DNA sequence: ACCGCACCCTGAGCGC
DNA sequence: TGCGCTCAGGGTGCGG
């Protein structure tokens, strides 16, 4: 699931293919929940425009276009933004994978889940946006147009201060994990890194936010930023669907301490990692190391 | 103001 | 073999 490190890795590696290029052709799938801007309008708005910049805002990618308009992209749960030259088994369904010999699994062909195909000027590859579950989003914004989704976002998780988290937690009965997942508090945090940060800080995910001390909030933010930065260094986590724009896997899944390690020994104390639902999300923690 | 929950979507995995 | 069920969860919006 793409969170801040996966989105940042995607941004860094797809930017060279997009920035400075003119979008010559846009191909889409049929109108759906995925398209906040209808496909026909999207094609009309994008074709002929040059991409001037690509920024990350929380888990959103924002492409600045010639003339001041913007293209908003969100990878949702299963979104994949990649080069047309990328190959990865993660870009194929299990059925398709099984029907192909390994040597045939090269050269991605756009399928029914490839909702956006951008052809650019120059001789570079095309850029594909594929999303099986369509929780991802694409939206075109007119010059100067405000966007509620972006406006709602809080401080980027990489620059959040412990004191700010502590202030937000005051008096709240909801689980601390839920507060971390709230994009209006710390933009970019998702399920994996919330669990990892709380483990590093030694705080139980289900504890009421109002009962987390200032010192613990500082430890959570410090741990969160260490984990996020390390994940960016290793190219993000490839657990189910995430692939980098060149088709390569990330490396952080090998450094996880708790997420998805249910029943395996805690790397600090050896007790089995527990799994509970907290804040409506699957949550992993060590009951001995986290209080 | 805050909180829990339903919903959007599809594929994998599992039990029968 | 195949059907039906459950689960995965980012984000939005609603009701209490």
* CATH number where A160 lies: 1.10.8.50
Q: Which nucleotide is nearest to A181 (CA to C1')?
A: C10
One domain, residues A116 and A219:
no
Would the pLDDT of A257 be above 70?
Answer: yes
CATH number at residue A136: 3.20.190.10
CA-to-C1' span, A103 to B6 (A) = 44
In a domain, A208, yes or no: yes
Q: Which nucleotide is nearest to A95 (CA to C1')?
A: B11
* Nucleotides of chain C touched by protein CB (<7 A): 7-13
In a domain, A54, yes or no: yes
* Nucleotides of chain B touched by protein CB (<7 A): 2-6, 8-13
One domain, residues A43 and A142:
yes
Contact A91, A80 (CB under 8 A): yes
pLDDT (0 to 100) of residue A107? 73
One domain, residues A271 and A241:
yes
One domain, residues A31 and A110:
yes
State whether the beta carbon of A178 lies below 7 angstroms from any atom of strand B.
yes
CA-to-C1' span, A158 to B10 (A) = 32
One domain, residues A202 and A74:
no
- The arithmetic mean of pLDDT across residues A73-84, rounded, is 93
In a domain, A117, yes or no: yes
Q: pLDDT-based confidence at A246, cuts 50/70/90?
A: confident
State whether the beta carbon of A225 lies below 7 angstroms from any atom of strand C.
no
CA-to-C1' span, A25 to B2 (A) = 46
Nearest-CA residue to the C1' of C9? Answer: A77
Contact A83, A17 (CB under 8 A): yes
One domain, residues A147 and A9:
yes
Percent of chain A with pLDDT over 90: 78
In a domain, A291, yes or no: no
Q: How many CB atoms lie within 10 A of CB A104?
A: 8
- The arithmetic mean of pLDDT across residues A253-266, rounded, is 89
pLDDT (0 to 100) of residue A145? 94
One domain, residues A8 and A142:
yes
In a domain, A27, yes or no: yes
Q: Which nucleotide is nearest to A279 (CA to C1')?
A: B4
pLDDT (0 to 100) of residue A98? 67
In a domain, A290, yes or no: no
pTM listed for this prediction: 0.95
Q: What's the N-to-C CA distance of chain A in angstroms?
A: 27
One domain, residues A201 and A126:
no
State whether the beta carbon of A147 lies below 7 angstroms from any atom of strand C.
no
Host domain of residue A260:
155-285
Location of structure tokens 């939206």: A139
Q: How many CB atoms lie within 10 A of CB A214?
A: 14
* Tens of pLDDT, residues A165-180: 999 999 999 999 999 9
One domain, residues A188 and A216:
yes
- Pull the structure tokens for residue A28: 């889409």
State whether the beta carbon of A270 lies below 7 angstroms from any atom of strand B.
no
CA-to-C1' span, A263 to C15 (A) = 37
Rg value, chain A, Cα: 20
State whether the beta carbon of A267 lies below 7 angstroms from any atom of strand B.
no
In a domain, A43, yes or no: yes
pLDDT (0 to 100) of residue A94? 67
Residues of A with catalytic roles: 2-3, 59, 281
Q: Which nucleotide is nearest to A77 (CA to C1')?
A: C10
One domain, residues A172 and A128:
no
State whether the beta carbon of A174 lies below 7 angstroms from any atom of strand B.
yes
Domain count, chain A: 2
* Tens of pLDDT, residues A21-54: 999 999 999 999 899 999 999 999 999 999 999 9
Last residue of a domain, one of A108, A124, A151: A151
CA-to-C1' span, A261 to C12 (A) = 30
One domain, residues A128 and A216:
no
Last residue of a domain, one of A116, A151, A186: A151
Is residue A243 packed enough to be buried (19+ CB in 10 Å), middle (13-18) or exposed (0-12)? buried
Last residue of a domain, one of A136, A151, A166: A151
Cα–Cα distance between A188 and A185 in angstroms, integer? 10
Q: What is the DSSP string of chain A?
A: ---HHHHHHHHHHHHHHHTT-BEEEEEE-SS-TTBSS-HHHHHHHHTTPBEEEEEEETTEEEEEETTS-EEEEE-TTTEEEEETT---GGGS-HHHHHHS-GGG--S----TTEEEEEEESSSPPPEEEEESS---EEEEE-TT---HHHHT--EEGGG--HHHHHHHHTT--SBHHHHHH-TTTEET--HHHHHHHHHHHT--TTSBGGGS-HHHHHHHHHHHHHHHHHHHHTT---SSS---TTS---SGGGG-SSTT-TTSBPTTT-PBPEEEEETTEEEEE-TTT--
Q: Which nucleotide is nearest to A183 (CA to C1')?
A: C11
Q: Name which of A1-15, A179-193, A245-259, A274-288 the model is least confident about.
A: A245-259
In a domain, A41, yes or no: yes
* Tens of pLDDT, residues A92-129: 876 676 676 666 656 788 999 999 999 999 999 999 99
One domain, residues A18 and A134:
yes
Sorted by sequence, the CB contacts under 8 Å of residue A243 that are 6+ apart come out as: A80, A82, A86, A88, A90, A91, A249
């Amino acid at each position: 699931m793409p969170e801040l490190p996966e989105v940042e890795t995607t941004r860094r590696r797809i930017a060279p293919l997009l920035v400075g290029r003119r979008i010559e052709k846009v191909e889409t799938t049929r109108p759906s929940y995925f398209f906040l801007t209808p496909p026909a309008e999207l094609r009309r708005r994008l074709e002929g425009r040059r991409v001037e910049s690509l920024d990350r805002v929380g888990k959103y990618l924002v492409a600045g276009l010639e003339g001041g308009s913007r293209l908003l992209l969100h990878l949702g749960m299963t979104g994949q933004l990649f080069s047309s030259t990328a190959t990865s088994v993660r870009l194929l369904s299990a059925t398709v994978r099984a029907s192909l010999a390994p040597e045939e699994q090269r050269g991605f062909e756009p399928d029914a889940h490839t909702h956006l195909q951008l052809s650019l000027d120059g001789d570079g590859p095309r850029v594909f946006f594929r999303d099986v579950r369509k929780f991802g989003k694409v939206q075109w914004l007119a010059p100067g147009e405000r966007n509620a989704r972006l406006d709602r976002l809080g401080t980027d998780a990489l620059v959040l201060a412990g004191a700010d988290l502590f202030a937000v937690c005051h008096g709240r009965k909801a689980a601390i994990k839920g507060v971390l997942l709230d994009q209006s508090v710390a933009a970019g945090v998702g399920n994996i890194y919330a669990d990892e940060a709380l483990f590093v800080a030694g705080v139980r995910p289900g504890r009421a936010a109002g009962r987390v001390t200032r010192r613990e909030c500082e430890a959570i933010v410090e741990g969160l930023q260490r984990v996020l930065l390390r994940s960016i260094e290793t190219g993000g986590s490839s657990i189910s669907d995430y692939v980098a724009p060149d088709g390569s896997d990330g490396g952080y899944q090998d450094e996880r301490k708790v997420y998805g390690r249910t029943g395996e020994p805690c790397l600090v104390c050896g007790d089995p990692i527990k799994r509970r639902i907290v804040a409506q999300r699957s949550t992993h923690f060590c009951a001995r190391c986290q209080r």
